[in-house]
């Protein structure tokens, strides 16, 4: 008797196997979404590692929830174009991870949330003028070369979202411009460009910056939405709070020394998004408190230096923000900081 399709084991039928693979990932995401959201808010479910820290996978799901207010605000402010870019980042990142792991015969872990968070962060870290394919290509680069090449989650040196963003800044520099204001999408200068041109931290109402009525990258505009998400992460103890605290302290001190309004520096640019959501990546930030403080100080100092004296070539590279460079540079120091500040108790 001739065997039917159902009699053939999945591993032996290439066509069946490919179809199963193509439908497996989206189906897993859809099926697991309710439990991810539930687990992210359910304290009793929070798994604690032997060193007392929350398991990284749970942090990723928590991060997805925490980023939702800023993502929703960006869609409200910029329209469906913002959603397209965020979704393009998530789909490209998850697909790149799944395909890479499949090709290299590793266990496919694309549904663990880490690739999705990379894609979401990248989609939120681009300008609304950026074409969707630039986000997708950058997400693929960040996942493949920033993460999977070195062995995947926990073995990566750089934050994959930031690595993808550096690639985006280098490869698609002209796609960043023009900056557009939320709601009416009028071309206008960002607060940091005004700072660079006038030398004064003024000219934009602080309330507009706080609420998210200023031009900027998709996810960075609303400080209020980012703070709501960050508060959730702090409440759930999902975040290494010393890193943003140290970064904000440095920014505060340097702004006061310069005689500027510190709130301008807090609310402008991607400091809030970078320091609260990207620098605190558990895989690429220092594990121990002293290391985290130094890590945060370095990020704050580099960001302020870039804002004041950073690179700017009209028409080619126009960067008035240095969060990407700051986080990636400090990522390089993480292995050293972990060795240097390892507590004696942990060493035993």
Partner 1 sequence: MPENTIIRILSVLLVMGVVGFVSFPLMVSRLKKKGVEEAAARKQAMLRAKTHSVVAAFLYMVFMVSLVSLFL
Q: Which is nearer to partner 1, 231 or 333 (CB)?
A: 333
Chain positions 155 to 184 lying near partner 1, rule: CB under 8 A, are 157-158, 163, 166-167, 169-172
Pick 163 or 277: Cβ nearer partner 1: 163
**12 binds partner 1 per the rule CB under 8 A:** no
Residue/partner pairs of 20-26 with CB below 8 Å, 24 or more apart: 21/98, 21/102, 25/94, 25/95, 25/98, 25/108, 25/110, 25/111
Q: How far is CA 113 from the centre of its chain?
A: 13
Q: What span, in angstroms and rounded, lies between the C-alpha atoms of 281 and 323?
A: 14
**Contact status: 142 vs partner 1 (CB under 8 A):** no
Query: Which x/- pattern over 302-321 shows residues binding partner 1 (rule: CB under 8 A)?
Result: ---------xxx--xx-x--
CB of 165 to partner 1, least distance (A): 11
Write down the residue that tokens 């630039």 correspond to. Answer: 134
Smaller CB separation from partner 1, 123 or 142: 142
Q: Are 291 and 341 in contact (CB under 8 A)?
A: yes
Minimum distance of partner 1 from residue 305's CB (angstroms): 13
Rounded to whole angstroms, what are the CA distances from 329 to 140, 292, 299, 323, 347? 21, 14, 8, 10, 26
Tally Cβ neighbours within 10 Å of residue 175: 16
Size of interface with partner 1, in residues (CB under 8 A): 26
In the chain, DSSP assigns E strands to: 312-313, 317-318
HSE on the CB side for 202, CA within 13 Å? Answer: 5
Q: Which one of 113, 325, 326, 327 is in contact with partner 1 (CB under 8 A)?
A: 325
Least separation in angstroms between CB 176 and partner 1: 12
Residue 332 lies near partner 1 (rule: CB under 8 A): yes
* C-alpha closest to that of 276 among 244, 298, 234, 300: 244
| Residues 6+ positions from 17 with CB-CB distance below 8 Å | 10, 11
* The binder of partner 1 chosen from 8, 149, 186, 346 (CB under 8 A): 149
Q: Which of 292, 216, 183, 202 lies closest to 247, judged by CA?
A: 292
Nearest distance, CB of residue 175 and partner 1, angstroms: 9
**CB nearer partner 1, residue 311 or residue 336:** 311
Q: What are the beta bridge partners of residue 271?
A: none
Examine residue 132 and tell whether it contacts partner 1 (CB under 8 A).
no
- From 77-85, 146-154, 189-197, 274-282, span contacting partner 1 (CB under 8 A): 146-154
Per CB under 8 A, the list member of 62, 69, 123, 146 interacting with partner 1 is 146
| Contact positions vs partner 1 (CB under 8 A) | 133, 137, 141, 145-146, 149-151, 157-158, 163, 166-167, 169-172, 311-313, 316-317, 319, 325, 328, 332
């Amino acid at each position: 008797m001739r065997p039917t399709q159902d009699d053939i084991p999945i591993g032996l039928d290439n066509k069946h196997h490919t179809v199963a693979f193509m439908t497996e990932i989206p189906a897993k995401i859809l099926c697991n979404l309710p439990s991810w959201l539930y687990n992210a808010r359910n304290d009793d479910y929070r798994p604690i590692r032997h060193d007392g820290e929350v398991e990284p996978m749970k942090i990723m799901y928590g991060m997805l929830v925490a980023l939702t207010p800023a993502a929703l605000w960006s869609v409200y402010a910029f329209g469906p174009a913002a959603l397209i870019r965020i979704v393009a980042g998530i789909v490209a990142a998850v697909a790149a991870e799944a395909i890479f792991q499949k090709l290299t015969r590793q266990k496919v872990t694309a549904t663990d949330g880490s690739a999705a968070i990379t894609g979401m962060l990248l989609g939120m870290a681009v300008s609304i003028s950026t074409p969707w394919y630039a986000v997708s290509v950058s997400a693929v680069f960040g996942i493949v070369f920033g993460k999977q090449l070195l062995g995947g989650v926990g073995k990566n040196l750089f934050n994959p979202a930031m690595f993808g963003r550096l690639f985006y800044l280098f490869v698609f520099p002209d796609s960043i411009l023009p900056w557009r204001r939320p709601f009416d999408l009028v071309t206008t200068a960002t607060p940091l460009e005004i700072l660079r041109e006038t030398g004064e931290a003024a000219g934009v109402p602080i309330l507009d910056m706080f609420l998210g009525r200023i031009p900027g990258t998709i996810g960075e505009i609303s400080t209020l939405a980012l703070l709501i998400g960050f508060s959730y992460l702090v409440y759930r103890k999902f975040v290494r709070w010393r890193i943003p605290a140290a970064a904000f302290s440095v920014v505060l001190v340097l702004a006061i020394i310069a005689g500027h309004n510190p709130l301008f520096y807090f609310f402008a640019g991607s400091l809030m998004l970078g320091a609260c959501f990207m620098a605190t990546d558990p895989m690429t930030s220092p594990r121990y408190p002293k290391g985290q403080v130094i890590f945060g100080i370095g990020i704050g100092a580099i960001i302020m230096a870039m804002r004041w004296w950073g690179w700017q070539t009209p028409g080619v590279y126009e960067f008035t923000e240095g969060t990407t460079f700051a986080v990636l540079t400090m990522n390089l120091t993480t292995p050293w900081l972990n060795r240097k500040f390892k507590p004696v108790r942990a060493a035993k």
